[in-house]
Amino acid sequence: MPKINGNEIRPGNVLEHNGGLWAAVKVDHVKPGKGGAFAQVELRNLRNGSKLNERFRSADKVERVRLEQKDQQFLYESDGMLVFMDAETYEQIELPADLLGERRPFLQDGMTIVVEFYEAEALNATLPQKVTCQVVETEPVVKGQTAANSFKPAVLDNGVKVMVPPFVGQDEMIIVNTESMEYSERA
């Protein structure tokens, strides 16, 4: 496995650290006035979901793990487990629903997502970056309210609340960015 320097860690990287597999969630590069620069990294354990804040100096070496990525089609949910099927082998796997965290409502029937495997163990699931949703509830358009950055709250068909531009009305289809959980564009 390749070793990388502590200052090369990026969000989304998977590292082998303290005997476990950790995903870098947030990385802040800090250059204090005194002493050497370091990367303040927020890590999430891929097996149990626990979090850890760690400092890595540029001289520190960490193991970067390459995960095998496979496309899986979402079939159904039962007893808190999401069932996916491999499009090539038709093999089915079950993953816990909390693996997707707050992005779970964006998972739709038949949607193809990327599941990351370490050896034979499924560790992580990634939704498509953009998902089409329907606005079920929002305030009506107010005439003359055309400020450059004025957004209004809207509730989507999956129950998620997002901020949308004033021109988006009820029952319209919009595209939402699943990474930032924000309005992207009209569908």
All structural domains of the chain, each given as residue ranges with its CATH number in brackets, are: 3-65 (2.30.30.30), 68-126 (2.40.50.140), 130-186 (2.40.50.140)
In this prediction the pTM is 0.68
What integer pLDDT is reported at residue 148 of this predicted model?
62
| Residue at token pair 């709250």 | 153
Partnered with residue 147 across adjacent β-strands are none
More reliable by pLDDT, 123 or 185: 185
| Residue at token pair 């502590």 | 6
Rounded Cα distance, 68 and 66, in Å: 7
Instruction: Tell whether the model's pLDDT for residue 73 goes beyond 90.
Output: yes
pLDDT average, residue stretch 153-181: 89
The distance from CA 13 to its chain's CA centroid, rounded to whole angstroms, is 13
What integer pLDDT is reported at residue 165 of this predicted model?
87
pLDDT average, residue stretch 102-128: 86
β-strand pairing of 130-138 with 173-177: antiparallel
Rounded Cα distance, 26 and 56, in Å: 13
Instruction: Tell whether the model's pLDDT for residue 174 goes beyond 90.
Output: yes
Confidence of residue 180 (pLDDT cuts 50, 70, 90): confident
Rounded Cα distance, 172 and 187, in Å: 8
Instruction: Tell whether the model's pLDDT for residue 145 goes beyond 80.
Output: no
68: left (phi over 0), alpha (psi -120 to 50) or beta: beta
Tell me if 57 sits within 8 A of 50, measured CB to CB: no
Partnered with residue 96 across adjacent β-strands are 81
Confidence of residue 11 (pLDDT cuts 50, 70, 90): confident
Confidence of residue 88 (pLDDT cuts 50, 70, 90): confident
pLDDT average, residue stretch 117-122: 82
Half-sphere exposure of 183 (CA within 13 A, CB side): 24
pLDDT tens for each residue of 15-50 = 888 888 888 888 898 888 888 889 999 998 888 878
pLDDT average, residue stretch 58-76: 89
CA distances to 9, 54, 62, 104, 186 from 18, rounded to whole Å, are 16, 11, 10, 29, 45
What integer pLDDT is reported at residue 84 of this predicted model?
92
